[in-house]
């Protein structure tokens, strides 16, 4: 894989993470631009590393799947740390979900699925931008 491809994937990962992170930041949520962007870029970097190692090992493709499983597990633990249960409500679920989908977007970028990553970013941004309470949109 060429240096240009590696840089393009990391750049797209940076952009996707920043778009979602900016939305969380402007809403004053615990995981903002830096956190969300780092999750996205970290997932991309892990996938790229797994792909490069697979290429060097001449086709040990199970390593890529194992890396993806590790990303999903690790991001799940990170997201779980943002969830807080208060007396009658739970806070942080949307932040945890934003962290989780950002990890998936980063993995898609790292694997070279640019259109999928950009579509995931746009859909995630649309969903987390909605102002919905109790299942109904609010102005």
How many structural domains does the chain have? 1
Q: In terms of Cα–Cα distance, which of 50, 19, 31 is closest to 117?
A: 19
Q: Output the pTM of the full model.
A: 0.75
Would residue 8 count as lying in a domain? yes
Is 90 exceeded by the pLDDT of residue 87? no
* Number of CB atoms found within 10 A of residue 133's CB: 7
Range of the domain at 100: 3-132
Would residue 66 count as lying in a domain? yes
pLDDT (tens digit per residue) in 18-66? 999 999 889 888 788 988 898 899 889 888 888 887 777 675 566 677 7
Would residue 139 count as lying in a domain? no
Would residue 55 count as lying in a domain? yes
CA distance 113 to 99: 19
CA distance 27 to 92: 13
Is 60 exceeded by the pLDDT of residue 134? no
CA distance 26 to 32: 8
């Amino acid at each position: 894989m060429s240096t240009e491809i590696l840089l393009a994937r990391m750049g797209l990962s940076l952009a996707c993470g920043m778009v979602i992170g900016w939305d969380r930041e402007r809403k004053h949520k615990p995981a903002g631009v830096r956190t969300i962007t780092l999750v996205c870029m970290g997932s991309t970097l892990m996938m790229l590393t797994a792909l490069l190692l697979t290429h060097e090992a001449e086709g040990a493709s199970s390593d890529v799947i194992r890396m993806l499983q590790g990303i999903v597990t690790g991001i799940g633990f990170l997201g779980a740390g943002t969830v807080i249960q208060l007396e009658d409500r739970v806070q942080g679920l949307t932040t945890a979900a934003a962290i989780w989908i950002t990890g998936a977007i980063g993995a898609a970028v790292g694997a070279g699925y640019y259109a999928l990553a950009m579509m995931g970013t746009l859909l995630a941004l649309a969903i987390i931008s909605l102002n919905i309470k109790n299942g109904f949109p609010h102005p």
